[in-house]
Amino acid sequence: MVYGLAHRNLTNVTHIGIDEISRKRGHVYVTNVYDLNSRRLLWSGEGRAKKTLEGFFDWGFGKERTKRLQSVC
């Protein structure tokens, strides 16, 4: 997993989808961010709060890539 994250190419990500799913009973949520063009999971974080999603952008997506986003679903 560490290798995959370190070598992930985020250059052409322009459309992302965000989904919050319950991973087990008791409302334990995970937030997933997907590249909608390539249909691949980009990032997953524990919880479903604003702070959780901010973790995706802090993780390495960055301001320049965020500026290139054309849509968020």
Percent of the chain with pLDDT over 90: 67
Q: What's the pTM value of the predicted model, to 2 decimals?
A: 0.85
Torsion angle, CA of 53/54/58/61, rounded to 10 degrees? Answer: 50
Q: Cα–Cα distance between 20 and 40 in angstroms, integer?
A: 16
For position 15, what pLDDT does the model report?
97
Q: Which domain holds residue 10?
A: 2-72
Look at the chain and report how many structural domains it folds into.
1
The rounded average pLDDT for each run of 10 residues, N- to C-terminus, in the chain (73 residues) is 71 95 84 94 92 90 92 96
Residue 11: predicted pLDDT: 87
**Total residues belonging to the chain:** 73
Neighbour tally for 14: CB within 10 Å: 13
Q: pLDDT tens, 49-68?
A: 999 999 999 887 888 999 99
